[in-house]
Amino acid sequence: MAASTPFDFVFDYLPTSITVKRMFGMHYIYWGKRILLILRKSQKEPEWNGVWLATGRNHHESLKKEIPALGAFFLDDNDRHSNWLLLKDDAEDFEGDAIKICELITRGDPRIGKMTEKPPL
């Protein structure tokens, strides 16, 4: 039986033409060839649960000003920042902030999303 998509309320606020692909126990959200978000809810490493936002480090500051609950996503124990930001599922206004992210995506905010080589299958 397939696991249900966590935080599925986000689909009410995203464009209808998105694609969702399940990999590695997470749900990857694409719009065309752009990866936008990853939805993660797992008992393993719960500190990484929430909405992962694909962006560039050059956009971190401006996005954090709009949504202060966004935090850096570290690739390893060396405190190496990635391009991703994380809205943790235990944030005070998690649902409200996730909706704000979806609204930015729907308006075509160029700070969100990373091009991939090919669209998801």
Residue 58's closest CA among 85, 91, 31?
Answer: 85
32-77 residue pLDDT tens: 999 999 999 999 999 999 999 999 999 999 999 999 999 987 655 5
Mean of the pLDDT values across residues 80-95? Answer: 91
Mean of the pLDDT values across residues 4-22? Answer: 95
Residue 29's closest CA among 3, 2, 8?
Answer: 8
Provide the pLDDT for residue 79. Answer: 55
